[in-house]
Amino acid sequence: WIKVANKKIFFVLFEFLCLSFQALDVVISTSNVSVTERDSLDLTCNITTDRSGIFQAEVMWYFSVSPDDTLSDAQLLLSMDHDSVVSDSTLISLSHVDRNSYRLLVRDVDVEDSGYYFCEAAIWVPLHNGSWHKVVERTSAPVSVVVTALEPDYDVFLNASKTPKFSDDPTELNCRITNVQDTEANIRFTVSWYYRQHLPGDDVVAEELLASMDADWTLLPGDRGRERIQNGEIIFLKKSADTFSLRIQWTSESDRGDYFCVISAWSRHRNNSWVKSKDVTSAPVNIFWATQDYTLTVEAVKLKPFFVAGHTFEMTCKVSSKNIKTPRYSVLITAEKPLTDQSNPNGTTRIISLSQDSVVRLEDWTDQTRVDGVVLEKVQENEFRYRMYQTQVSDAGLYRCVVTAWSPGGGGMWREAVNGLSNPIQIDFQTSGPVFNVSVHSDSPTIYQGEVADLLCIITMEGMPLEP
């Protein structure tokens, strides 16, 4: 019976002790907190109890993104058990400041540390057998912590180092970061390029993204000009740590408009991820050139005013143009024969041409006896000379220069700009007797020494045949 009585006395005593520790307050000493990125967050959890006897406190600090999260949803940061053993952490520490205060210190905070912090405390009392028993547990109200991003201070300046004066000219824009302050090794910059069509008046047009860079400087093309970017017609460069460039190799009229760049600052967080902290937009730069109609003038001049059949006919074509960028010219010599010429019922013959790359080609010149009888050459950039040797009466007609102006296009190609036709130059043989042509022909153009060469003297008559 004595043992039973002892047990009853112990249980009554234990129950009394438990009831005596129901009073426990857990409060974080500061209210809502705002700290700057890279600074330290210092919070203190204060415990108040009506117990003056022997007890130990257990403290746990939690973090959550919402004030309504439960303990099961929250993240345990650090804990200190009733034996004052603290769980380990590199950037977070928990210390016992005095008997009732427990300090949480978070070093080098970043934006991701913004949220709600609260602490949970439990009271442990010793039992007669030397063990410890938790008698009461309370959780503090959450404290809101806002971590303000450490924004660098900088300006953005956009200028055009190359501006087009004609279609297919190059355009180059430089986006430069200036007046940089409060930056560090954990900050990097990227650029985004935008285009906006320039309209007269107050009409507003939404900007179009040309391309942007992510935090790793990977280029992300926008919808506008994606194919040209992939083909290398639009190039994006990072010239230096503070300068980004946009280059349009061959600017078209559809590229005219406003361009601007946005420089983004990125901050590196503790997990080595990059988070955008600031955007600064440049003033726009307008790319525009006045489009004027191409003009081309061609003048043909006969160098020898008087000549007779058998002599050399010579004329020049002089070309002048306006509003064409660095033009080159291709030239075609044509002849308008009299309608009585049955060899060309259409009236116009294409004789010889010279391309813009100075390639000569015989067109409809079919006189095999005078294969080398016509020559077209470039005298200078805007002057060309046409010669026809051993002229015949059948060469009579009106001769013109047909000129095409070409301007450099994209990818090293030539783009046709405009065509021009010269004034006619007339070949007219004045004769008083019968008109005929004489030519020599051999069926064997190649002979060897000692062989007989048969030469035919061919006489062709113009107009009505004469009586023999």
pLDDT tens-place string over residues 79-95: 888 777 777 777 888 88
Containing 387, the helix (H) or strand (E) segment is strand 383-388
**What is the band of 271 on the pLDDT scale with cuts at 50, 70, 90?**
confident
Residue 226, CB-side half-sphere exposure with 13 Å CA sphere: 6
Give the type of residue at 135.
V
- Find all residues with CB under 8 Å of 17, minimum gap 6, and list them: 125, 135
Q: Please tell me which residue, 270 or 362, carries the higher pLDDT value.
A: 362
Residue with structure tokens 């023999």?
468
Rounded to an integer, the average pLDDT of 284-302 is 89
State how far the Cα of 50 lies from the Cα of 160, in Å rounded to an integer.
Answer: 75
Residue 216 has pLDDT above 60, yes or no: yes
Q: What percent of the chain has pLDDT over 90?
A: 34
Rounded to an integer, the average pLDDT of 166-181 is 90
Residue range 295-427 forms a domain whose CATH class is mainly beta
Rounded to an integer, the average pLDDT of 40-63 is 85
Contact 58, 170 (CB under 8 A): no
Say what the pLDDT of residue 252 is: 85
Residue with structure tokens 């129950």?
15
Domain ranges of the chain: 2-148, 153-287, 295-427
Say what the pLDDT of residue 376 is: 94
Residue 300 has pLDDT above 90, yes or no: yes
Q: What percent of the chain has pLDDT over 70?
A: 86
Contact 211, 224 (CB under 8 A): no
Q: Tell me whether strands 348-354 and 328-336 are parallel, antiparallel or unpaired.
A: antiparallel
Residue 426 has pLDDT above 50, yes or no: yes
State how far the Cα of 205 lies from the Cα of 265, in Å rounded to an integer.
Answer: 27
Residue 243, both tokens: 């300068």
Please determine whether the domains at 2-148 and 153-287 fall in the same fold group of CATH. yes
User: Can you name the residues that pair with 374 across neighbouring β-strands?
Assistant: 388
Residue 205 has pLDDT above 90, yes or no: no
Contact 282, 158 (CB under 8 A): yes
State how far the Cα of 213 lies from the Cα of 188, in Å rounded to an integer.
Answer: 12
Residue 313 has pLDDT above 80, yes or no: yes
Integer distance in angstroms from the first to the last C-alpha of the chain?
Answer: 173
Residue 98 has pLDDT above 60, yes or no: yes
Residue 375 has pLDDT above 90, yes or no: yes
3-state secondary structure of 8: helix
Residue 259, both tokens: 């361009």
State how far the Cα of 156 lies from the Cα of 205, in Å rounded to an integer.
Answer: 23
Residue range 2-148 forms a domain whose CATH class is mainly beta
Right CATH number for 153-287 from 3.40.50.920, 2.60.40.10, 3.50.50.60, 3.40.50.10490? Answer: 2.60.40.10
Say what the pLDDT of residue 449 is: 81
Say what the pLDDT of residue 152 is: 84
Residue 369, CB-side half-sphere exposure with 13 Å CA sphere: 13
Least confident of 43-52, 119-128, 160-169, 197-206: 197-206
Rounded to an integer, the average pLDDT of 317-332 is 92
Rounded to an integer, the average pLDDT of 264-278 is 83
Rounded to an integer, the average pLDDT of 56-61 is 87
Residue 28 has pLDDT above 60, yes or no: yes
**What is the band of 146 on the pLDDT scale with cuts at 50, 70, 90?**
very high
If you average pLDDT over every residue of the chain, what do you get? 83
